[in-house]
Every structure is written in structure tokens, then in C-alpha cells.
């Protein structure tokens, strides 16, 4: 970890996401070649965006967090704004793509995002597709 990134664990994850309106999360593992290739790109983005929180989750050390978010391949980048996951994509992004994703996430109207989520949840409820899902139900 560098001084620009934060190691996220099951102990500090909720607090980090609650206290910060914009958190980027890199799910990685030490044995993962593409993760090692993505690390300097992620660090450079962290240095260029000091107003955002750049977190890293070692999927080997934090299997509960990886499982809670359904991470099946690494590296996976996730962006959480106002406690809502607004982006998740596996694969090592090149610098330009990462910069573009950050820019798009910055421009999101979170009121519109929450409204859209509420509408989707209401529709899912009408379709009988309810149930206990989501990251909260996976945490012990």
C-alpha cells in the first residue's frame, strides 16, 4: 500500500464507505499478474485525485468482503458513491479508461441514481423477485 491508498478490511470497510462520499475499490491478490500490472495505474489515479478515497481489498486476506460483493475475477474495480455501488468491472483498466470512469462517476447525479434504484426495487417487488440479497445480508 502507498500513502495514497487505504487497505480496506471487514473491520474498516463500512466506516470508510460511510465517512466518504466517493470510494474507489481495487479487489486484488498478490499472486495475480494483471493485478500487479493495474497497481501503478491505480496509484497514479489516486495521486491525481487526492479528494477521493482509493481503497484496496486483498481478496486472499478479506474473503468475506470479496464474497459479499460477488467478486469472481480480479482485478475488479468498484466505485461507491454515497454508499451506492455505481460501477463494478473486472479487468485491469488502462490509465485513460480509469480516468474516464472516474470522470463519469464524478458527474453522476446521485439523486437520479437513487431514484432509479428505488424504481428498480419497486419493479422487482411487483414481479415477486424479492428476497434477502445484497452485501448487507452476506456480512456476519
Decide if 35 is catalytic: yes
| Catalytic annotation, pick one of 24, 32, 41, 66 | 32
Backbone dihedral region for residue 131 (phi beyond 0: left; psi -120 to 50: alpha; all else: beta): left
Q: 6, 23, 25, 35: which one is catalytic? A: 35
Nearest-angstrom CA–CA distance, 124 and 35: 35
62 preceded by a cis bond (ω within 30 of 0):
no
32 counts as catalytic: yes
Residues 6+ apart with CB under 8 A from 86: 79, 80, 105, 108, 113
Chain centre to alpha carbon of residue 105: 12
- Residues belonging to the active site: 32, 35
Amino acid at each position: 500500500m502507498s500513502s495514497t491508498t487505504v487497505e480496506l478490511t471487514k473491520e474498516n470497510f463500512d466506516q470508510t464507505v460511510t465517512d466518504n462520499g466517493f470510494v474507489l475499490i481495487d479487489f486484488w491478490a498478490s499472486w495475480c499478474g494483471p493485478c500487479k500490472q493495474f497497481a501503478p495505474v491505480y496509484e497514479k489515479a489516486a495521486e491525481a485525485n487526492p479528494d477521493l478515497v482509493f481503497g484496496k481489498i486483498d481478496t486472499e486476506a478479506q474473503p468475506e468482503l470479496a464474497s459479499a460483493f460477488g467478486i469472481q475475477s480480479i482485478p475488479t474495480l468498484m466505485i461507491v458513491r454515497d454508499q451506492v455501488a455505481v460501477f463494478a468491472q473486472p479487468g485491469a483498466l488502462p490509465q485513460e479508461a480509469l480516468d474516464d470512469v472516474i470522470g463519469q462517476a464524478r458527474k453522476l447525479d446521485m439523486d437520479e441514481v437513487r431514484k432509479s434504484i428505488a424504481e428498480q426495487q419497486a419493479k422487482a417487488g411487483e414481479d415477486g423477485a424479492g428476497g434477502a440479497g445484497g452485501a448487507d445480508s452476506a456480512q456476519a
